[in-house]
Amino acid sequence: MALAKFDENSLAFKNLKRFFITDIPLEYRGLKRIKFPTRYHQNYISFHVNDPIYVYIGILSHYPNPLPDFFQNMQQIFQLVEIVPDAKKLNVKHFI
Protein backbone atom coordinates (compact mmCIF):
# COMPACT_ATOMS: atom_id res chain seq x y z
CA MET A 1 0.00 0.00 0.00
CA ALA A 2 0.98 3.62 -0.47
CA LEU A 3 -0.58 6.80 0.88
CA ALA A 4 -1.62 9.24 -1.87
CA LYS A 5 -4.05 12.10 -2.51
CA PHE A 6 -7.19 12.06 -4.61
CA ASP A 7 -6.09 14.31 -7.43
CA GLU A 8 -7.72 14.45 -10.85
CA ASN A 9 -5.86 12.22 -13.34
CA SER A 10 -3.70 10.67 -10.62
CA LEU A 11 -2.36 7.14 -10.90
CA ALA A 12 -4.92 4.65 -9.63
CA PHE A 13 -2.60 1.85 -8.54
CA LYS A 14 0.73 1.56 -6.83
CA ASN A 15 2.37 -0.69 -9.42
CA LEU A 16 0.97 0.41 -12.82
CA LYS A 17 1.38 3.65 -14.74
CA ARG A 18 -1.45 3.18 -17.25
CA PHE A 19 -4.53 3.46 -14.98
CA PHE A 20 -5.75 6.91 -13.91
CA ILE A 21 -8.64 8.14 -11.76
CA THR A 22 -10.75 10.90 -13.32
CA ASP A 23 -14.06 12.67 -12.69
CA ILE A 24 -13.41 12.81 -8.94
CA PRO A 25 -16.26 14.61 -7.14
CA LEU A 26 -15.06 17.95 -5.74
CA GLU A 27 -15.60 16.95 -2.10
CA TYR A 28 -13.03 14.11 -2.45
CA ARG A 29 -10.30 15.97 -4.34
CA GLY A 30 -7.17 16.42 -2.26
CA LEU A 31 -8.23 13.91 0.42
CA LYS A 32 -5.87 11.15 1.47
CA ARG A 33 -6.33 7.69 0.04
CA ILE A 34 -4.63 4.34 0.16
CA LYS A 35 -3.22 3.24 -3.18
CA PHE A 36 -3.09 -0.54 -3.64
CA PRO A 37 -1.41 -2.74 -6.24
CA THR A 38 -3.72 -3.73 -9.10
CA ARG A 39 -4.39 -7.11 -7.52
CA TYR A 40 -4.86 -7.08 -3.78
CA HIS A 41 -4.59 -10.69 -2.60
CA GLN A 42 -5.50 -10.37 1.08
CA ASN A 43 -8.89 -11.24 2.57
CA TYR A 44 -8.99 -8.01 4.59
CA ILE A 45 -7.65 -4.47 4.76
CA SER A 46 -6.17 -3.17 8.00
CA PHE A 47 -4.77 0.24 8.88
CA HIS A 48 -4.43 2.41 12.00
CA VAL A 49 -5.50 6.03 12.45
CA ASN A 50 -5.17 8.35 15.42
CA ASP A 51 -8.26 10.52 14.74
CA PRO A 52 -11.91 9.70 14.09
CA ILE A 53 -12.42 9.29 10.34
CA TYR A 54 -14.88 8.23 7.67
CA VAL A 55 -13.69 5.43 5.40
CA TYR A 56 -14.92 5.38 1.79
CA ILE A 57 -14.40 2.28 -0.34
CA GLY A 58 -14.44 2.39 -4.15
CA ILE A 59 -15.51 -0.73 -6.01
CA LEU A 60 -15.40 -1.22 -9.77
CA SER A 61 -19.01 -1.37 -10.96
CA HIS A 62 -18.56 -4.59 -12.94
CA TYR A 63 -17.54 -6.52 -9.79
CA PRO A 64 -20.05 -7.77 -7.22
CA ASN A 65 -20.25 -5.57 -4.13
CA PRO A 66 -18.39 -7.43 -1.34
CA LEU A 67 -19.50 -5.07 1.44
CA PRO A 68 -22.11 -5.87 4.11
CA ASP A 69 -25.57 -4.34 3.72
CA PHE A 70 -24.99 -1.80 6.51
CA PHE A 71 -22.45 0.08 4.33
CA GLN A 72 -24.12 3.11 2.75
CA ASN A 73 -23.91 3.43 -1.03
CA MET A 74 -22.92 7.06 -1.67
CA GLN A 75 -24.10 6.91 -5.31
CA GLN A 76 -20.98 8.74 -6.48
CA ILE A 77 -19.15 7.76 -9.63
CA PHE A 78 -15.47 8.08 -10.48
CA GLN A 79 -13.80 6.92 -13.69
CA LEU A 80 -10.93 4.48 -13.97
CA VAL A 81 -9.20 5.12 -17.30
CA GLU A 82 -6.65 2.78 -18.84
CA ILE A 83 -4.21 4.29 -21.33
CA VAL A 84 -2.96 1.51 -23.60
CA PRO A 85 0.15 2.42 -25.60
CA ASP A 86 -0.45 2.34 -29.36
CA ALA A 87 -4.16 1.61 -28.86
CA LYS A 88 -6.88 3.39 -30.79
CA LYS A 89 -9.31 3.63 -27.87
CA LEU A 90 -9.32 4.13 -24.11
CA ASN A 91 -10.59 1.49 -21.72
CA VAL A 92 -12.86 3.33 -19.26
CA LYS A 93 -14.53 1.72 -16.24
CA HIS A 94 -16.80 3.26 -13.63
CA PHE A 95 -16.53 2.69 -9.92
CA ILE A 96 -18.69 3.90 -7.11
Number of CB atoms found within 10 A of residue 49's CB: 8
Q: Give domain status of residue 55, yes or no.
A: yes
DSSP assignments along 19-72, one per residue: EEEE---GGGTT-EEEEPPSS---S------SS--------BTTSPP-S-TTSP
pLDDT at 96: 53
Indicate the SS3 state at residue 26. helix
Q: Give domain status of residue 6, yes or no.
A: yes
Global model pTM greater than 0.75:
no
Q: Give domain status of residue 45, yes or no.
A: no
> Using one digit for the tens of pLDDT, what is the confidence trace for 28-46?
999 999 888 887 777 788 8
Mean pLDDT, range 59-76, rounded to an integer:
83
Q: Give domain status of residue 44, yes or no.
A: no
Instruction: State the DSSP H helix or E strand holding residue 9, giving kind and residue range, or none if neither.
Output: none
